[in-house]
Amino acid sequence: MAGRRDVAVYRTWFVRTWSTPGFRSLSPLPPSGQSLEIYLVIGEKTCSIPGLLRAGRAELAEALRWPLDEFDRAFDELVAGQRARHDRDNRVVLLPGVLEEGCRPQSPNVALNWGRVLSEFPPCELVWEAHRIIASALEGAGESFQQAFVKGYGQAFPQHITEDGGTTEDQPLLEALGNQEQEQKPEPTKEQRAAGAPRARESQQPQPRCTPDQVSKHIKASVYEALKLGGKYRHPNGEPHVAELTAEAKDVAAACGASWATGERIARLVDQVIEHDTKVRRKGIFSRVDASG
């Protein structure tokens, strides 16, 4: 079958193992490039897409119980060996080789889940690269896998994202994520220019990086993830730190090129996430009271 690859031998590891008391009582992984790559592949911060994580360096160092400088040295090894890349601003880590090797969804439902998970990552270069790797792998998996991925991904992205982060309405998603060159409008003739026709380059309007709906979803997802992380995003009493969350939301809006995202609109999105977080926390408190009563 076209695109079929040899099946490599692999082992199953349960992510919850990292949080079990017995495992945590053992001596931790020593700071090294190998230890870090193992953790980035099967650690607590992973998602269903192999080789793709959303975590910052300080967060990873804390989880591994490593000093930050030793974590940086280990990560520099992976970067030097072209085994990992890290977007510090968006807190995205990508291990391209791991994604390429593990990009074998077992069913269309898995591909559907990958699309949904990928749509929750902030728009950045590493996410575009992950798009391209997955799209390329799914070309040999069958049409049902491709359609499932597009369905899951498209729920959050009504427009298709091109390789450079722009959007296009008239190309299928998988083609847009490939290395296809965009057609260029021909230059107008000398006579047409004399009549006032603009040059092709001048007539092309820059496309927004994300639509308003996409930006809103990105902001909400980012603020929600920040609340889960806690730290500077929550006060000591557990209440959300509005100023820090708003700064996070503004960074996401800027990364999306959303100049329309005013302070008022961002504040409204942040308030919506905080309101949901408050309801969830209150529900958890009431559940514990009921259980103890």
Lowest pLDDT segment from 146-150, 189-193, 255-259: 189-193
CA angle centred on 255, ends 249 and 261, rounded to 5°: 55
Tell me which of 32-46, 204-218, 260-274 is least confident.
204-218
| Spans of all domains in the chain | 15-101, 105-176, 212-286
pLDDT at residue 207 above 60? Answer: no
Mean pLDDT of 214-237: 75
CATH topology for the 15-101 domain: Arc Repressor Mutant, subunit A (1.10.10)
**Over pLDDT 70: what percentage of the chain?**
70
Determine if residue 91 is left, alpha or beta; phi over 0 gives left, psi from -120 to 50 gives alpha, anything else beta: left
Give the pLDDT band of residue 189 (cuts 50, 70, 90).
low
Rounded to an integer, the average pLDDT of 14-37 is 92
State the average pLDDT over residues 148-177: 50
Most confident of 140-144, 186-190, 262-266: 140-144
Burial pattern 82-120, b for ≥16 Cβ within 10 A else e, equals ebbebbeebbbbbbbebbbebbebeebebbbbbbbbbbb
Across the chain, mean pLDDT equals 75
CA atoms of 57 and 41, how far apart (whole Å)? 15
pTM: 0.53
Q: Above 60 in pLDDT, residue 16?
A: yes
